[in-house]
Amino acid sequence: MNRTSSPPSVEIFHAKNRENNFFSWIATVDHKRIGILYLLTAFFFFGVGGLEALVMRLQLMKPNNNLLSPDTYDQLFTMHGTTMIFLVVMPTLIGFANYFVPLMIGAKDMAFPRLNAMGYWFLPFGGLLLHFSLLAGGAPSVGWFSYAPLSETPFASSPGVDYWILALFALGIGSIATAINLIATVLCLRAPGMSIRRLPLFTWMVFINSFLLMLAIPALNAAIIMLFIDRQLDAHFFLPSHGGSAILWQHFFWTFGHPEVYIMVLPAFGIISEVIPVFSRKPIFGYEFVAASTVAIALLSFGVWAHHMFAVGLGQPMDIFFAAASMLIAVPTGVKIFNWSATLWGGSIRMTTSMLFAVAFLLQFTIGGLSGVTFAVVPIDWQVTDTYYVVAHFHYVLFGGSLFGVFAGIYYWFPKMTGRLLSESIGKVHFWLTVIGFNMAFFVQHFLGLMGMTRRVYTYPDLPGWELLNMISTVGAFLLGISVLVLVWNIVISLRRGAIVGGNPWNAWTLEWATSSPPAKHNFDQLPPLHGRRPLWDLAHPENRDEPDASREKLKETKMDKNKIGMMCFIASEGFFFIMLLIAYIFYNFNQLTNPGSQWLNPIKTGLFTFCLLSSSVTYWLAEKKLETGSQKGFLLWLAATLALGGAFMAGQGMEYWELFQKGLRAGTNLFSASFFMVTGLHGLHVLIGLVCLLIVLGAALAGDFKNGKTAMVKTVGLYWHFVDVVWIAVFTTIYIVGVRT
C-alpha cells in the first residue's frame, strides 16, 4: 500500500472493519475462508442439482407420465449430472482440503494463497457459465458425458453444449490450480517433524488426489477443446459422417472420466479414515496399507477407462485386458474397507452422527463397489449398460459413498470451523432420514435396471412392478430432499445456539485440533511437538507415545522450493494436455493413407523458426547464468535476445498460417487442417503466454527486482519457457518430420 498518500477514507481499509466485512470475504486469500466459500457454493449448487433430481423423480413417479417434455427431461438429467459432479462433489471435497490440509500439517496457509482464491472464483464463474445456457436457448441436453456425435452441431444445435464446454473448461482450470497448490503445500509447508510418513490420512489422500486432478483434467480439456473446434469452427473431429471418430471422444472422455470417479471418492476415503479412528478410540488399523492402497487406486484408475466402453465393441483382447485391470482395482479398495472394519473391531465406539455417517458409508460404498465390479464382467456389462442398474451403482458410490463421507466430515469438523457443535439430536434425525431416503431411492433401481428400464428416457411403459418400484424411488428421493432441509435447519440452529466447544471437542489427535475453534487467522500460536502420526495423543500421553523410540528421529527433510514444485506440477499437467493433442493428431493423420494439406508444410522453413525457438532456450539459460554472476546488463541483454527469438518464432508461425490460409486451408477443411491448427495454435498460445511472462520478467528486471538475489521468478518462468520449447520439439517431430508424406 502506498504510505505517502492520504489515509484512505473508505471503511473497509480499516483493519477492524476489514475482518468481517462482506467485501473481505470476496477479497480473502485465507485458506479457511476460501474453504468455507467452497463449501457454501457447493451447498448452494447441491440444492439446485437436488431440485432438478426431484423434478425428474416426479416425472418418473408413474408410467407414461407427461409432466415434463422429453427435451426438458434431457436438459434436467444433463444439468443434474454436471452440477452434482463438478459443482457439488468436487468443490465440497476441495473445500474441506482447503480448510484442513494446511491445519493438519501445521502450516499458516496454502503455498500460493492468491492462486487459491483464483481457483475458488473459477467455481462460481463456471457455475454461472453453465446455468447461463438456460437464458441462451436451453441447457445442454446430451448427458454429462456429452457423447459425440450427439453433442455435435447437427444434433445439438442450441448453444447449451457450448456453455457446457466453457463451464467445464473454467472449472477445470480452477481444479488444476487448486491441485497444484495442494501438492506444493503438502510438499513444502509441513511443520518440522511432520514427515510424509506421518501425514494424516486425509491429507495423504488429498495429496494423491491432487495428482489425479492434475493429470486427468487435461484429458477432458483436450476433448472439450476439440468438441468446441468442431462446433465453432466446423471441424469434424468427432463426426463419423465426415471421417471423424466418435469413439475417440469416448476414449478421451473416459481417460478423464474414470480417474474422475476416484477424484470424487478419495478425499471422502480420507475423511472416513479420520472419523473412524477418532470415534473408535483406536489408531487406524494398518496406516501403511490404507496409504499405499491409495497410490495403487490412483495409478490403476488411469488404466481402466475402457471398461466404460465395453458396449462399443473394442474387440475381445481389449475387453479381456481391461476386464482384468478393472477387477484388480477392486483389490486396493477392498483393502481399505477391511482396514476400516478392523479399526472398528474392538474399539470403544462412540456413535456420534459423524460416526453413523461413516459406518453407513462403509456399508453403502461396499454395495456400490460390488455392483461396480460386476461391470468388469463384460457380458454383464453388455446386459446392464445404460440401464438403471448403472444409475443405482454410481449413486451408491457417489451419494452413499462420497456424500456420506462429506456428511461425516461436516459433523466432525463443524465445531472446528465455527466453534459450536451441530445438534446431535437433529443430526440423528438427519442421518436416519438420509439413510432411509437414499436406500429407498436407489436400491430399487438395481431391480429396475435388471428388468430393463433404460436410463435417460423421460418415461417408461406400464410394465408389471415398474410403477411400484419407481414410486418407492420417488418417495425416497423426497425423503432425501427433506433430510437436506433438516441439515440446513441443524446448521442454522447450531450456528446460533449450538454448544460452544474448545479446541478439541472429540479428543481427536491430528493437528487441526491443536488450535482454537475456529482457528485464528494465523492458524497456530504454537505447534505441539511432532513425534508421530498422532501429535495430540503423544502430547496427552507422553509415557505411551506412538513412536516411542526418539533416537530414530533423524529427520533430514530437504527444503523444497514451492515455486519450482508448483511450476513442475503445472508443466506435468500441460505436458499431459499436449500428449493428448498429439495422440489426436497421430490418430487423425497417421492411419490415413492420404494427408491432404500436409504436402504444403515446409519442414525446412519451419525448421528455421524452430531453431529460433530452441536457441531462445539457450539464451535464457545464458541470461540466468549472467544473473547468477551478478551482471545485470548481461542478463537484460540475453533476456532481450530470448524475447526477440521467441517473437521471431511467433512471426514465423504467423507467416505459415497466412500461406496456408491463402491456399484455402481452414480449420474446418479436413481432419488434417483441424488437427494441425489445433496443435500448433495451442502451442503458439503457450509461446505467447511465455512471451508475456518474459516481458513481466523484463519489467521486473528493469525495476531492479532481482538485485537482491531473489530470482525465484526468473527460474520459474525459465522452467515454463524451456517446457514450451520441449513441447515444440515433440510437435515438430510429429507433424513436420514423421507426419509429412511427399
Partner 1 sequence: MTLRQLLLSTWDWNLLLIAGCIAALFFYAILCKLKFSGKSVFFINGVVLFFVALDSPISFLAKGTLFSAHMIQHLLLVLMIPPLLLLGLPAPSHRPILSLASWIKHPLAAWVSGAGAMWFWHIPAICDAAASNEFIHTLQTFSLLFLGILFWRPIVGPHIEERLSSLTGILYLFTACIACTLLGIWISFSTLSVCPVFMRPEDPSVSPLIQGWGLTPALDQQIGGLLMWVPTCLVYLGAILFLLYRFYRQPGKVVSFPSKEKRKK
For position 223 contacting partner 1 by CB under 8 A, the verdict is: no
If the CB atoms of residues 121 and 302 are measured against partner 1, the closer one turns out to be: 302
Among 36, 291, 514, 724, binds partner 1 (CB under 8 A): 291
Is 303 among the residues that bind partner 1 (CB under 8 A)? Answer: yes
Residues of span 638-697 touching partner 1 by CB under 8 A: none
Distance CA 149, CA 151 (A): 5
CB of 89 within 8 A of CB of 403?
Answer: yes
> What residues contact residue 412 under an 8 Å CB cut-off, 6+ apart?
271, 274, 275, 278, 354, 506
CA gap 185, 716 in Å, rounded: 17
Least CB distance to partner 1 at residue 650 (A): 29
Quick one: 56 or 213, whose CB is closer to partner 1? 213
Size of the site for partner 1 (CB under 8 A): 36
Task: State yes or no: residue 547 binds partner 1 (CB under 8 A).
Answer: yes
Contact 75, 139 (CB under 8 A): yes
Q: Which amino acid is at 549?
A: D
User: ∠348-351-355 over CA atoms, to 5°?
Assistant: 100
Q: Between 255 and 470, name the residue whose CB sits nearer to partner 1.
A: 255
590 contributes a contact to partner 1 by CB under 8 A: yes
Tell me how far, at minimum, the Cβ of 315 lies from partner 1, in Å: 6
Q: Contact, 220 vs 258, CB < 8 A?
A: no
**Which residue, 339 or 515, has its beta carbon nearer to partner 1?**
339
Is residue 292 within the footprint of partner 1 (CB under 8 A)?
yes
Q: Which is nearer to partner 1, 70 or 548 (CB)?
A: 548
Q: How far is the CB of 324 from partner 1 (least distance, A)?
A: 7
Identify the CA nearest to 576 among candidates 258, 329, 300, 252.
252
Kindly state whether residue 300 participates in binding partner 1, applying the rule CB under 8 A: yes
Shortest Å distance, C-beta 143 to partner 1: 25
User: Residue 20 or residue 558: which is nearer to partner 1 going by CB?
Assistant: 558
**C-beta of residue 476 within 8 angstroms of C-beta of residue 437:** yes
Alpha helices in 241-376 (DSSP H): 246-263, 266-280, 287-301, 316-328, 330-344, 353-376
Name which position in 16, 496, 554, 559 contacts partner 1 (CB under 8 A). Answer: 554
**Beta carbon nearer to partner 1, 3 or 559:** 559
Nearer to partner 1, 556 or 663 (CB): 556
Q: Cell 443434474 appears where?
A: 80
Helices 330-344 and 266-280, packing angle to 10 deg: 20
CA distance 701 to 706: 6
Give the Cα separation of 86 and 41 in Å (integer): 12
Q: Of 73-81, 149-157, 194-202, 495-503, which segment contacts partner 1 by CB under 8 A?
A: 194-202
Report the nearest approach of partner 1 to the CB of residue 564 (Å).
14
Q: How far apart are the C-alpha atoms of 717 and 78, rounded to whole Å?
A: 40
Nearest alpha-carbon partner for 135 in 157, 151, 158: 158
Told to check if 559 binds partner 1 by CB under 8 A, we report no
Q: Are 480 and 381 in contact (CB under 8 A)?
A: no
In the list 321, 447, 489, 657, the residue contacting partner 1 (rule: CB under 8 A) is: 321
Q: Of the candidates 54, 118, 188, 325, which one interacts with partner 1 according to CB under 8 A?
A: 325
Cα distances from 391 to residues 367, 397, 405, 530, 696, in angstroms, run: 13, 10, 19, 45, 50
Check binding of 299 to partner 1 (CB under 8 A).
yes
Q: Does position 54 bind partner 1 by CB under 8 A?
A: no
315 is an interface residue for partner 1 by CB under 8 A: yes
Q: Which residues pair with 523 in a beta bridge?
A: 520
Distance of closest approach, residue 552 Cβ to partner 1, in angstroms? 4
**Cβ closest to partner 1, residue 250 vs residue 483:** 250
Q: Which one among 115, 118, 188, 296 touches partner 1, defined by CB under 8 A?
A: 296
Applying CB under 8 A, the span of 84-92, 105-113, 506-514, 580-588 interacting with partner 1 comes to 580-588
C-alpha separations of 234 from 1, 230, 674 in Å: 50, 5, 9
Binder among 3, 16, 496, 556 for partner 1 (CB under 8 A): 556
Q: Which of 7, 32, 33 is nearest to 22 (CA)?
A: 33
Q: How far is the CB of 303 from partner 1 (least distance, A)?
A: 6
- Residues contributing to the site for partner 1 (CB under 8 A): 195-197, 287-288, 291-292, 295-296, 299-300, 302-303, 315-318, 321-322, 324-325, 328, 547, 552-558, 579, 583, 586-587, 590-591
